[in-house]
Amino acid sequence: MVRVITSALRYRAALQISPLSLALLFFLVGPVIMIMIMSFYEFTGFMTVPDATLENYIELFTSSLTGVNYLQTLKMVGITWVVTLVLGFTLAYFLVFDLVELRTKLLLFLLCVVPFWTSSVIRMVAWVPFLGKEGIINKFVIWTGISAEPLQFLLFSEFAVFLSYIQIFTLFMMAPLFNVMARINRDLIEAARDNGASGIQILWHVIIPLCKPGIAIGTIFVVSLVASDFAAVSLLGGQRVGTVSISMIIQMNMAQYPPSSATGVILLVVVLLIVGGIMRMVDVRKQL
């Protein structure tokens, strides 16, 4: 009798998970397999021929552009990660530990989250009237005499892309940090203080270690979002910023599917390795 029930339960769970599994099979696993197959096809320069060649990968690994692109991507990821981590941590700390009333905390937290549910394309465009040659910052710079010429590095530059990344992605670091900080038992902090720990010591030896899962989740988000972005780079980077994702998109738009696929496969492998490494250190599932 018991066995019948458990098998019925198991059958029901299989039924419940199948729609999700099918959707992911069709729109994630399938496409990735397609790309893997395509990456072994031959590209003659204007045509794609079914084949089983390593040419695309050899081309990719021997091209000097690959290294340049990966360095650029690494730089974008690294700087964005450091800034969003420090900023996100401080913001979350302010909300959790500096504010007293729960209602204020939640309200201000929501104010930080709301832009996430609005258009990121529009939020990128919104930097143009700020940073342009005739933009607000340059008007101010010339008016105050800080510089006689408008600053050129503001728009269509790496700087603009960073600004946009920090604006859009800080939330992804801050929200998980807010979540873990809010769960820190205040008695621990009291205990540390009673034992004579200074503010810095409490931060370093109590709060930050307890924040590790939040940092891990935030890092997963920021790394994968920056590595995958091409919209901000193409809109605000002014063709001066060459990342791996951009090179993949350019190859794609020129219908060079096999080399584009090889680029995509390697990028996916790199992102999965980084995220896999983080998930080995911290049990993300326990944080839900």
Partner 1 sequence: MSQRAEFRRAPGYWPRAALFYVYLLFLYGPILIIAVLSFQGPLASMTFPMQGLSLHWFSEVVDPGGFSRQDFRMPFVRSLILAIIVMVLTMGLSFLAGLAFRKSFKGNIVVFYVVVASLIAPSALISLGIGLGFNELGLQSQWYTGALGAHLSWTLPFGVLIMLAIFSRLDPSLEEAARDQGATEWQTLRNVIVPITLPGLIGVALFGFTLSYDEYPRTSTIVGEFNTLPVEVMNTINIAATPVIYAIGTMTTLFSLLVIFASFLAVYIIQKRRTGAGLGIARKAAKADSS
* Candidates 14-22, 61-69, 143-151, 207-215; binding stretch for partner 1 (CB under 8 A): 14-22
Which residue type is seen at 199? G
Burial of 101 (0-12, 13-18, 19+ CB in 10 A): exposed
Residue 261 interacts with partner 1 (CB under 8 A): yes or no: yes
Return contacts of 52-59, CB within 8 angstroms, 24+ apart: 56/258, 56/259, 56/261, 56/262, 57/262, 57/266, 59/259, 59/262
Structure tokens at 280: 């080995």
- Kindly calculate the radius of gyration of the chain based on its CA atoms and give it in whole angstroms: 24
At residue 102, the 3 state secondary structure works out as helix
Kindly state the smallest distance separating residue 62's Cβ from partner 1, in Å. Answer: 22
For residue 224, give the nearest of 244, 194, 207 by alpha carbon.
Answer: 244
> How far apart, in Å, are the Cα atoms of 245 and each of 70, 219, 231?
10, 19, 10
CA distance 103 to 93: 16
Residues numbered 92-111 forming contacts with partner 1, rule: CB under 8 A: 93-95, 97-98, 108, 111
Residue 266 interacts with partner 1 (CB under 8 A): yes or no: no
Kindly state the smallest distance separating residue 160's Cβ from partner 1, in Å. Answer: 11
Kindly state the smallest distance separating residue 264's Cβ from partner 1, in Å. Answer: 4
Residue 252 interacts with partner 1 (CB under 8 A): yes or no: yes
- Per-residue H/E/C for 38-49: HCCCEECCCCEE
Residue 282 interacts with partner 1 (CB under 8 A): yes or no: no
Select from 44, 144, 239, 253 the one that contacts partner 1 (CB under 8 A): 253
Select from 40, 81, 127, 156 the one that contacts partner 1 (CB under 8 A): 127
Residue 275 interacts with partner 1 (CB under 8 A): yes or no: yes
Residue 132 interacts with partner 1 (CB under 8 A): yes or no: yes
Residues numbered 66-85 forming contacts with partner 1, rule: CB under 8 A: none
Burial of 79 (0-12, 13-18, 19+ CB in 10 A): middle
Kindly state the smallest distance separating residue 46's Cβ from partner 1, in Å. Answer: 17
Segment holding 170, helix H or strand E: helix 158-182
* Candidates 58-66, 117-125, 142-150, 208-216; binding stretch for partner 1 (CB under 8 A): 117-125
Residue 231 interacts with partner 1 (CB under 8 A): yes or no: yes
Select from 7, 51, 54, 90 the one that contacts partner 1 (CB under 8 A): 90
* Candidates 54-62, 77-85, 142-150, 219-227; binding stretch for partner 1 (CB under 8 A): 219-227
Residue 87 interacts with partner 1 (CB under 8 A): yes or no: yes
